[in-house]
Amino acid sequence: MSLRIGGGFLKGRVLKGPRSKSYRPLTGRLKRSLFDYLGDTIRGAAVLDFFAGVGVFGVEALSRGAARVTFVEKDAALVDFLEDNLRSLGLVDVARVSCEDVFYYLNVTRPRAPYDVVFLDPPYGRGLAFRTIEELARWPGFGERTLGVAKTFKKERFAGPPPLALLETRQLGDDNLFFFHKELSASTVRAAQG
């Protein structure tokens, strides 16, 4: 399987991936819709790509101007593709790859500052998207200015716990994109007004 980068300075370059029918990466219209929504917010952003696969989302983000991306993927075979893609595209210096379970990562990692964008594209049918979102609600890497994006099967509905709130849903084919954030605390609102 090969995947073409759709925008930015790497536009047209191809990522390598497995030939498995069970692997369903972010492609085509869904990727365009996602990056249309993100617009300029991706420029200079610190990005976290959960269930990263071969790096489709994170590499596209880097191509479009993200400052750095952390990729988290537990499948060692997919990590091999991901690391090969990063090397071949010259992105090793702006990428970090963690070959581990997302929930382990959330429980042991305490970033110095929240990420700007957190993307998750877990396997369908296992409840992983909303389990991850529940963990993000408590995790210090998901701050009040972080934008979350979850790719899910079309029949799933956003179930983020407070203080997470849905901003927008986009359905394309068999997939949903949920855009969500953490609602601002009263002290943050007062500081912004003051």
pLDDT digit string, tens, across residues 96-148: 999 999 999 999 999 999 999 999 999 988 889 999 999 999 999 999 999 99
Residue 187: its pLDDT value, please? Answer: 55
Local structure of residue 41 (DSSP, 8 states): G
Question: Looking at the predicted structure, is the pLDDT value of residue 1 above 60?
Answer: no
Residue 3: its pLDDT value, please? Answer: 87
Q: How is residue 2 written in tokens?
A: 């090969």
- On whether the CB atoms of residues 114 and 142 are closer than 8 A, the answer is yes
Which residues have CB under 8 Å from 133's CB, separation 6+? Answer: 120, 148, 150, 158, 159, 160, 161, 164, 180
Torsion angle of C-alpha atoms 127, 129, 135, 141, degrees rounded to 10: 160
What pLDDT digit, counting tens, does each position of 158-190 carry? Answer: 988 999 999 999 999 999 999 999 997 655 444
The architecture of the domain spanning 2-193 is 3-Layer(aba) Sandwich (3.40)
